[in-house]
Amino acid sequence: MSTKLYVGNLPFNADDSALRHNFSEYGDVTSAKVMMDRDTGRSKGFGFVEMGTSEQADAAIQALNGMSVGGRSIVVNISRPKEASAGGYGGGNRGGRSGY
């Protein structure tokens, strides 16, 4: 089992230190990062936490998944690698007439 966790539906005022604090109760937090919007500097409402061991990660999932934080029910699960989009949003030739 992985030690990296996805944490979703965070309140928009959540920051790295609050995330670290909430998860440290369940073991060693090696990293905690709330993802921020590059343009506005505001939280995107999700982040990632890396725990010291897979057992600690599992304990954090069991305890925190569904917990209310700032009036929002957070989602905590194992982080999965981002998959390549198959939806055709990556650019390239989408058919139709050429621009040339």
- pLDDT digits 0-9 by tens, 41-83: 899 999 999 999 999 999 999 999 999 998 999 999 999 887 7
Residue 30 in domain: yes
Residue 98 has pLDDT above 70, yes or no: no
Whether the pLDDT of residue 99 is over 60: the answer is no
Residue 78 to residue 7: CA distance in whole angstroms: 9
- Is residue 50, in this structure, part of any structural domain at all? yes
In a domain, 31, yes or no: yes
Is residue 99 a part of any domain in this protein? no
Residue 87 belongs to some domain of the structure: no
Q: Write the CB contacts of 55 (distance below 8 Å, at least 6 apart in sequence).
A: 27
Q: Given this model, what pLDDT does residue 8 score?
A: 97
CA nearest to 75, candidates 86, 55, 60, 88: 60
The region of weakest confidence among 29-33, 80-84, 95-99 is 95-99
Instruction: Tell me the whole-structure pTM to 2 decimals.
Output: 0.79
In a domain, 71, yes or no: yes
Count other Cβ atoms within 10 Å, centred on residue 64.
Answer: 19
Q: Is residue 70 part of a domain?
A: yes
- In 3D space, the residue among 57, 5, 51 whose CA is nearest the CA of residue 30 turns out to be 51
Nearest to 8 by CA among 82, 75, 66, 77: 75
Mean pLDDT throughout 25-36?
A: 97
Give the domain CATH number at 11: 3.30.70.330
Percentage, residues of the chain above pLDDT 70:
82
Q: Is the residue at 98 inside a domain?
A: no
| CA 23 from centroid of its chain's CA atoms | 13
Task: State yes or no: pLDDT of 85 exceeds 90.
Answer: no
